[in-house]
Amino acid sequence: GAVVSQHPSWVICKSGTSVKIECRSLDFQATTMFWYRQFPKQSLMLMATSNEGSKATYEQGVEKDKFLINHASLTLSTLTVTSAHPEDSSFYICSARGNSGPSYEQYFGPGTRLTVT
């Protein structure tokens, strides 16, 4: 099956610094990737849709200048949390869907736990 990886698995950073999270599709090309945020015991909330070669589409209420998304290739999307604050601490998960065939499934990465101190 399709595999999506994320790096790092977890990160602890100081308030005010920036953190970059990578999402890679390992065995398929993904024209579209999605970034979610999940707080403890809550559902996944879609933050943005990342499209290869174009600007990301952000959901209402998500600050695009704070959460920078770059989808530079068909296998890599990055999320950079700029000037992180403790309230940004969360579990960030990416997902990807293929760009061919009848598959409608989204393949999720293992997630990145961000802790801002």
Q: Which one of residues 39, 63, 83, 105 is an interface residue with another protein (CB under 8 A)? A: 105
Residues in contact with 31: Cβ distance below 8 Å, sequence separation at least 6, in sequence order:
51, 52, 74, 99
Residues in contact with 8: Cβ distance below 8 Å, sequence separation at least 6, in sequence order:
21, 112
CA dihedral 46, 35, 71, 69 (to 10 degrees): 80
Q: Which one of residues 11, 44, 62, 74 is an interface residue with another protein (CB under 8 A)? A: 44
Contact call for residue 18 and another protein (CB under 8 A): no
| Cβ-based nearer residue to another protein, 14 or 100 | 100
Contact call for residue 54 and another protein (CB under 8 A): no
Query: In a 3-state reduction of DSSP, which class is residue 86?
Result: helix
Q: Which one of residues 7, 20, 49, 89 is an interface residue with another protein (CB under 8 A)? A: 49
Residues that bind another protein (CB under 8 A): 34, 36, 42-46, 49, 93, 97, 103-111, 113
